[in-house]
Structure 1
Amino acid sequence: MKLGEGVEAAIHCAAMLAGVDGAATMPGAALAEAFGVSPSYLLKHLNMLTAAGILESVPGPAGGYRLAKPSERITLLDIVLAVEGREPAFRCGEIRQRGPVRLDASAYVKPCGINAAMLKAERAYRAALAEVRLSAIVADYVSEADPRSVAAGCAFVARYQRPQKVHPNQVPPSKSER
């Protein structure tokens, strides 16, 4: 199975946004710069994540993106499905019922064994992705990555995050509340 490059970019962006403070945002252009991808290409994927409720898009000159919910509540499956769609990777076209050796439809009462095997693998793959939380990926990275890489990523987030103005009667959400 081959996932599109957008999945990698989406996961990395979500992981970076997990480091944004409070109600702050990061502009899409900064996220594109961080990972060396085209801003217009990345915007398409950021919009998919926003439509899926993984990210929140804040409009305006000081706007940008932030996680729409805590990273503990975002799984890799959430991100993959937001970018790739909910359809299974394998879609049986029943080609066994085409061509010169096809038989009457009554010969095909049992489901296609190939389709059944592929759907079983898809369920296992999705179950494995559903077990991995974005928060765990970030925590593993922070604890296991080269400290220079962690420091560079944190510095990038600190440089590009945009604090959001909060109404005087409103308390900004903490990371655990988003």
Structure 2
Amino acid sequence: MNEGVEWALHSCVNLTWMDDGQAVTAARLAAFYRLPTAYLNKQLQALARAGILTSTSGPRGGFRLARRPEDITLMDVVTAIEGPEEAFRCEEILRQGPGDHEGVDYRESCVISQAMRRADLAWRRELAGQTVADIKATVERRAPSAPGDTRNWFANLRT
């Protein structure tokens, strides 16, 4: 996974703490973690295309959550940034080996491919079972001042 997934998830959590209707620009979100604005903006645009964020242009524009945090899974964010492909791609190298049998789909019969697909499915299920709201709640439990501190930081940022 590329770092854009981490950046996107942190941005989504930070957006949960903004007042209703408040949009935050890519530059402001990037400044929060000292990230490159152009690259973070690509991640935010991918989230907008996936219906996770909305994007508004203009002086009061920026990004905001398009759905309730309870309705955004970690898998939604990963898929928006990384795409829907499986992490492991069987290239059917058994076909090149001495035991090649014509007409065999080695993606289905290869024990390694099967194990990797099961692991990928378990990973996807775990991410699909957690939401941005779950992450938000855990952060708030561990750092109760995080929502207010984040709102204050954005309110006092001059960009």
Q: TM-score, normalized by length of structure 2?
A: 0.89
Alpha-carbon distance in 2 for matches of 1:150, 1:71: 14
Change (3 A) 1:69 1:102: same
**1:88–1:122 CA contact under 8 A, matched in 2:** yes
Looking at structure 2, the residues matched to 105 and 83 of structure 1 have their Cα atoms a distance apart, in angstroms, of 37
Deviations 1:30-54 (A, max 9, x none): 0000111100110110011000000
Tell me the number of residue pairs that the alignment of Structure 1 and Structure 2 aligns: 156
Q: Which residue of 1 aligns with 2:65?
A: 67
TM-score (norm 1): 0.80
- Check the 8 A contact 1:57/1:63 in 2, yes or no: yes
Query: Which of 132, 153, 156 is 2:153 aligned to?
Result: 156
CA separation of 1:150/1:25 partners in 2, compared to 1, >3 Å: closer, same or farther?
A: closer
1:117 aligns with 2:115: yes
**2 CA distance for matches of 1:93 and 1:127?**
24
The structure, 1 or 2, with the larger RCO (C-alpha pairs under 8 Å, 6+ apart) is 1
Give the gaps of 5 or more residues in structure 1.
161-178
Of residues 42-51 and 105-114 in structure 1, the stretch that sits farther from structure 2 once superposed is: 105-114
Match of 2:81 in 1: 83
Identity across aligned pairs (percent)? Answer: 37
Quick check: 1:19–1:157 contact (8 Å CA) kept in 2? Answer: no
Cα RMSD of the aligned pairs, angstroms, is 1.9
Larger fraction in helix: 2
Give the secondary structure class of the aligned counterpart of 1:128. helix
Q: Which sections of structure 2, spanning at least 5 residues, go unmatched?
A: none
Greater shift, 124-133 or 109-118, is seen at 109-118
Q: Report the secondary structure of 1:7's partner residue.
A: helix
Corresponding residue SS for 2:109: coil
The one-character-per-residue Cα deviations of 1:78-120 (angstroms, maximum 9, x if unpaired) are 1011101100000101011125x35342566761111111111
Structure with the greater alpha carbon radius of gyration: 1
Compared with structure 1, are the counterparts of its residues 5 and 107 closer, same or farther at alpha carbon in structure 2 (3 Å cutoff)?
closer
